[in-house]
Amino acid sequence: MYLLKKIILLAFLLNGFESFANINENIVISTASNALVFKVDKNKKLRQCYYGGKLNSSDYSSIQISTIDAFPTFGTSYINEAALRAVHADGNTSTELVYDSFTTEKEGDSVELTTILLKDVYFPFQVKLCFKAYQKENVIEQWSEIRHTEKKPVMLYNFASSHLAFSNTNYYLTQFYGNWAEEMKMEEVKLTRGVKVLDSKLGVRSDQFAHACFMLSLNAESQENAGDVIGGTLAWPGSWNITFDVDQQNSLHVIPGINAYASQYKLKPNTVFKTPSFLYTYSSEGTGTVSRNFHRWAKKYGIYRGEKTRTTLLNNWEATYFNFNEDVLSKIIKDASDMGFELFLLDDGWFGEKYPRNDDTQGLGDWMVNRKKLPDGIGYLINESNKNNIKFGIWLEPEMVNPKSELYEKHPDWVIGQPNRALDLQRNQLILDLSNPKVQEYVFSVIDKTLSENPGIAYVKWDCNRYMTNSGSYFLSAENQSHLFIDYVHGLFNVLNRVRAKYKDISMMLCSGGGGRIDYATLPYFDEFWITDNTDALDRIFIQWGTTQFFPAMALASHVSVVPNGITGRSEPLKFRFDVAMSAKLGMDLQPKDMSPDDKEFSKKAIQEYYGIRGIVQFGDLYRLLSPYTNARTALMYVSENKNEAIVFTYLLKKAIAGNNQPLVLNGLDPKKMYAVSEINRDPKSYSWFSPLEGQIFTGEFLMKYGLRFAMYNEYDSKIIKLTVRE
Ligand code: GLA
Q: How far apart are CA 42 and CA 61, in angstroms?
A: 15
Interhelix angle for 537-547 vs 574-581, to 10°?
Answer: 10
Please tell me the distance between residue 514's alpha carbon and the centre of ligand 1 in angstroms: 7
CATH for 463: 3.20.20.70
Q: How far apart are CA 138 and CA 54, in angstroms?
A: 10
Model pLDDT, residue 23: 66
Pocket test for ligand 1, best of 320, 346, 465 (most atoms within 8 A of CB): 465
Confirm if 385 and 392 have CB atoms less than 8 A apart.
yes
617 part of a folded domain: no
Model pLDDT, residue 302: 98
User: Is residue 11 scored above 50 in pLDDT?
Assistant: no
Q: Is the minimum distance from the CB of 514 to ligand 1 under 6 angstroms? A: yes
**Structural domain ending residue among the three candidates 281, 302, 323:** 302
562 part of a folded domain: no
Model pLDDT, residue 686: 87
Which residue minimizes the CA distance to atom 8 of ligand 1?
513
Q: How far apart are CA 75 and CA 420, in angstroms?
A: 38
> Quick one: pLDDT band at residue 284, thresholds 50, 70, 90?
very high
Check whether residue 208 and residue 60 sit in a common domain: yes
What number is the average pLDDT over the span 638-664? 98
Which residue minimizes the CA distance to atom 11 of ligand 1?
513
Confirm if 502 and 217 have CB atoms less than 8 A apart.
no
What number is the average pLDDT over the span 678-687? 93
Q: Is the minimum distance from the CB of 579 to ligand 1 under 6 angstroms? A: no
Check whether residue 257 and residue 317 sit in a common domain: no
Residues identified as active-site: 463, 533
Model pLDDT, residue 708: 98
Model pLDDT, residue 16: 34
Check whether residue 292 and residue 334 sit in a common domain: no
Q: Is the minimum distance from the CB of 513 to ligand 1 under 6 angstroms? A: yes
Q: Is the minimum distance from the CB of 341 to ligand 1 under 6 angstroms? A: no
Q: Is the minimum distance from the CB of 533 to ligand 1 under 6 angstroms? A: yes
End-to-end C-alpha distance for the chain, whole angstroms:
80
To the nearest 10°, report the CA torsion of 333, 334, 338, 341.
Answer: 10
Please tell me the distance between residue 596's alpha carbon and the centre of ligand 1 in angstroms: 26
The strand order across the sheet containing 34-40 reads: 26-30, 34-40, 46-53
**Structural domain ending residue among the three candidates 526, 553, 581:** 526
Tens-digit pLDDT profile for residues 95-123: 999 999 999 999 999 999 999 999 999 99
Q: Of all atoms in ligand 1, which is nearest to the CA of residue 514? A: 8
Q: How far apart are CA 539 and CA 215, in angstroms?
A: 22
The identity of residue 274, as a single letter, is: K
Interhelix angle for 437-453 vs 484-502, to 10°?
Answer: 30
Domain count, the chain: 3
User: Is residue 15 scored above 70 in pLDDT?
Assistant: no
β-pairing verdict for 164-166 and 343-346: unpaired
Q: How far apart are CA 142 and CA 114, in angstroms?
A: 10
Interhelix angle for 597-619 vs 574-581, to 10°?
Answer: 20
Check whether residue 292 and residue 428 sit in a common domain: no
Tens-digit pLDDT profile for residues 191-239: 999 999 999 999 999 999 999 999 999 999 999 999 999 999 999 999 9
Q: DSSP per residue over 435-500, as a string?
A: TSHHHHHHHHHHHHHHHHHSTTEEEEEE-------S---SSS-GGGGGGHHHHHHHHHHHHHHHHH
β-pairing verdict for 171-177 and 210-218: antiparallel
User: Is residue 79 scored above 70 in pLDDT?
Assistant: no
Check whether residue 340 and residue 257 sit in a common domain: no
Residues facing 166 on adjacent strands: 252
Model pLDDT, residue 21: 38
Tens-digit pLDDT profile for residues 405-431: 999 999 999 999 999 999 999 999 999
607 part of a folded domain: no
> Quick one: pLDDT band at residue 78, thresholds 50, 70, 90?
confident
Q: How far apart are CA 298 and CA 113, in angstroms?
A: 18
Q: How far apart are CA 367 and CA 83, in angstroms?
A: 43
Check whether residue 385 and residue 481 sit in a common domain: yes
What number is the average pLDDT over the span 461-486? 98
Check whether residue 339 and residue 445 sit in a common domain: yes
Tens-digit pLDDT profile for residues 693-709: 999 999 999 999 999 99
Please tell me the distance between residue 463's alpha carbon and the centre of ligand 1 in angstroms: 7
Confirm if 295 and 347 have CB atoms less than 8 A apart.
no
Check whether residue 207 and residue 277 sit in a common domain: yes
Check whether residue 292 and residue 333 sit in a common domain: no
**How far from 370 is each of 125, 173, 353, 364, 367, CA to CA, in Å?**
55, 50, 6, 12, 9
571 part of a folded domain: no
Q: Of all atoms in ligand 1, which is nearest to the CA of residue 360? A: 12
CATH for 646: 2.60.40.1180
Model pLDDT, residue 242: 98
Q: Is the minimum distance from the CB of 199 to ligand 1 under 6 angstroms? A: no
With CA atoms as reference, report the closest residue to 637 among 723, 535, 547: 723
What number is the average pLDDT over the span 652-656? 97
Check whether residue 26 and residue 64 sit in a common domain: yes
CATH for 124: 2.70.98.60
Model pLDDT, residue 24: 64
Tens-digit pLDDT profile for residues 292-345: 999 999 999 999 999 999 999 999 999 999 999 999 999 999 999 999 999 999
503 part of a folded domain: yes
Check whether residue 282 and residue 329 sit in a common domain: no
Q: How far apart are CA 349 and CA 358, in angstroms?
A: 6
User: Is residue 19 scored above 50 in pLDDT?
Assistant: no
Check whether residue 268 and residue 354 sit in a common domain: no
Calculate what percentage of the chain has a pLDDT beyond 70: 97
What number is the average pLDDT over the span 356-378? 98
Q: Of all atoms in ligand 1, which is nearest to the CA of residue 589? A: 9
Q: Is the minimum distance from the CB of 463 to ligand 1 under 6 angstroms? A: yes
Model pLDDT, residue 22: 62
Give the DSSP H/E element, type plus range, for residue 337: helix 326-339
With CA atoms as reference, report the closest residue to 274 among 165, 139, 130: 130
User: Is residue 655 scored above 70 in pLDDT?
Assistant: yes
Contacts with 478 (C-beta within 8 Å, 6 or more apart), sequence order: none
307 part of a folded domain: no
Model pLDDT, residue 1: 44
Percent composition of the chain: helix, strand, coil (DSSP 3-state, to 5):
25, 30, 45
Which residue minimizes the CA distance to atom 7 of ligand 1?
513
The identity of residue 424, as a single letter, is: D
> Quick one: pLDDT band at residue 25, thresholds 50, 70, 90?
confident
**How far from 515 is each of 179, 239, 324, 409, 518, CA to CA, in Å?**
9, 15, 26, 31, 6
**Structural domain ending residue among the three candidates 264, 279, 302:** 302
- Secondary structure in 3-state letters for 169-238: CCEEEEEEECCCCCCCEEEEEECCCEEEEEEECCCCCCCCCEEEEEEEEECCCCCCCCECEEEEEEECCC
Output the CA torsion sign for 36, 68, 201, 265.
positive
The identity of residue 519, as a single letter, is: D
User: Is residue 20 scored above 60 in pLDDT?
Assistant: no
Q: Is the minimum distance from the CB of 342 to ligand 1 under 6 angstroms? A: no
Residue 434, class by beta-carbon neighbours within 10 Å (0-12 exposed, 13-18 middle, 19+ buried)? buried
Model pLDDT, residue 727: 80
Tens-digit pLDDT profile for residues 567-579: 999 999 999 999 9
Q: How far apart are CA 145 and CA 134, in angstroms?
A: 20
- What does DSSP assign to residue 268? P
287 part of a folded domain: yes
613 part of a folded domain: no
Residue 2, class by beta-carbon neighbours within 10 Å (0-12 exposed, 13-18 middle, 19+ buried)? exposed
**Domain, as residue range, for 408:** 313-526
Contacts with 324 (C-beta within 8 Å, 6 or more apart), sequence order: 316, 349, 373
